[in-house]
Amino acid sequence: MRSTGTQWAAVSAGVLLASLITAPTAQAAENGTAVAPTTRIDQKAVGWQPCEDLDPVGDAKLECATITVPLARTTGGERVNDLAETVEIALSRVRATGTAEHTMLVNPGGPGSAGRMWAAHTHNRMPAELRETYDVVAFDPRGMGASTPAVTCDPDFFTPVRKDTVPADAAEEDALRQDAEAYAAACAEGAGPLLDHMRTEDTAHDMDAIRIALDLEQVDYLGYSYGSYLGTVYSSLYPDSVRAVILDSVVNPDNPWYESNLVQSRALDRAAHNFFAWVARHDDTYGLGTDREAVADAYYDLRAELRENPLDDTVGPTEFEGAVIVVAYSGNAWPAVAGALAAQVNDDDPAPLLALHDSYGDDADSDPGYGGYLAVQCTDAEWPGDWQTWRANAEAVHEDAPFMGWHNIWYNAPCATWEGESAPWFQIGDGPYEHPAYDGDVLIVHATGDGATPVEGSHALRGRLPGSSLVIEDGGITHGVALTGNTCVDETVVAYLQDLTLPERGVEGPDLTCDARPEPQPRTAQSAPHAPVDRLGPIGLETTR
């Protein structure tokens, strides 16, 4: 699943004062599940220093640090000969304004996203009563952001104008396949042994190392998007290490990444049609058509035109898709995207569309995030090895969901030839070879119109977590709901974090339904907003970025 958003620069300003040593491999239990490795902390201290590479957010005062953890966390990894090899995890913290009673560990999604800025974002989103009692800690997952070593592949991959993601013939399809294979090979060359140790399970073990380094018996956890899957895995491996768990915009636990991306492409298409319908309702502002189909036609006509005549040698159809996908993640982006479409279609003015690409599109700086995304997705689960399967699924999903059907396939296509060692999907449950699900209290939150992670995933996860309660934002159109302004949802989140009170669990979900926030109002802004958007976008199955 593809997550996209603002990428923040990475050079850790922290000082390493914690040394972590773990058993090199997990031991298989009788039922086939893995036992979490034992972690010994030689020095439980984190050297917090002022962050030198992160800009402040609001009035939050960020501190940074690093800890060192073993490279080999799970079984596998034939290219690792030295079991003492390590990686550094970059951390950030915003202290409680009063006496810290709890610590919130937060992950904004991805995979591939640097996470340290989210300590400040989360702190600022919290109401005063939570800021007073919570330290908020965020981290760049292994291989990403300021954590080292980092996954690097090929920044030139994103040089515009890229090939159209919808191949017109076999020759174009073959050229796209060659690009995907070359990118996978570049990642193998650039990241080396790290690629065998980038699974979600590896990061979950790193999270418990963070908890131990902070000298905490338990942490609270808030995970958005892919962060929901990370939290599901972490709470399964370390059930005694968590106090409160909030999983927002949930990855379906029953769909490994390849299957999940196919489902996601259809959800992205539904979200795009919600956007087209909104534009049609405001035809007096945008002039793109008075019904959803007319607006969709205007969008696809523009896409076809960009194939023949890219804007400023910068925005062709693939760059166009990479920027416009934001409408499936955030309703707040709808006015800017609609304004950019209208300016180009009606006035032949490319400036807003170029600005949209500058804010949300891919460029050379996208390489670490894309490589990190693939490093996790390609090894978290098994992928089809024969291209015929990929093509058949691509053609079927494109027929049903052309908005991102082929785009999502190519975004994940490097997984077809990925060199990192893959493992079976970390499935929670009580069946053979499944990992025991966390049975403590969990709050699950989801919007019904989320395009990046279809809402069905939250219902599936609720069924696998016996202590969970599901809160639905009915009619919500934004990927990421908790602490974003819906009073009904936020009051539920605050009550849970303060005294572990959850909505009463019924026979089936949802356990609480909240009305959606008002839809955005139209405007004719001539530039794209620069607010960070985390999108779990095209991944081949669903999305990422």
Residues marked as catalytic: 225, 450, 479
According to DSSP H, which parts of 401-516 are helical?
405-412, 456-464, 487-499
Q: Are 443 and 509 in contact (CB under 8 A)?
A: no
- Cα 345–Cα 347–Cα 351 angle in degrees, nearest 5: 85
CB of 122 within 8 A of CB of 240?
A: no
The answer to whether 250 touches 230, Cβ cutoff 8 Å, is no
By C-alpha distance, which of 194, 254, 246, 193 is closest to 219? Answer: 246
Residue 243: name the closest of 470, 467, 492, 487 by CA. 467
Rounded-to-integer distance, Cα 252 and Cα 260, Å: 7
Helix (H) or strand (E) holding 354: helix 351-360
Task: Report the SS3 class of residue 468.
Answer: strand
- Report the distance separating Cα 384 and Cα 541, nearest Å: 12
Rounded to whole angstroms, how far apart are CA atoms 33 and 461? 19
Determine how many CB atoms are found less than 10 A away from the CB of residue 508: 10
Per the CB < 8 A criterion, the answer to whether 395 and 353 are in contact is no
In terms of Cβ atoms closer than 10 Å to its own Cβ (0-12, 13-18, 19+), residue 179 is: middle
Q: Which residues pair with 224 in a beta bridge?
A: 248
Q: Quick one: which of 332, 271, 273 has its CA closest to 300?
A: 273
244 closest CA partner among 436, 103, 131, 93:
103
At 222, which helix (H) or strand (E)? strand 219-224
How many whole angstroms separate alpha carbon 71 and alpha carbon 69? 6
Q: For residue 435, what are the β-bridge partners?
A: 428
- Our measurement of the distance from residue 153's CA atom to the centroid of its chain's CA atoms, rounded to an integer in Å, reads 19
The pair phi, psi for residue 226, each rounded to 5°, is -55, -30
SS3 71: coil
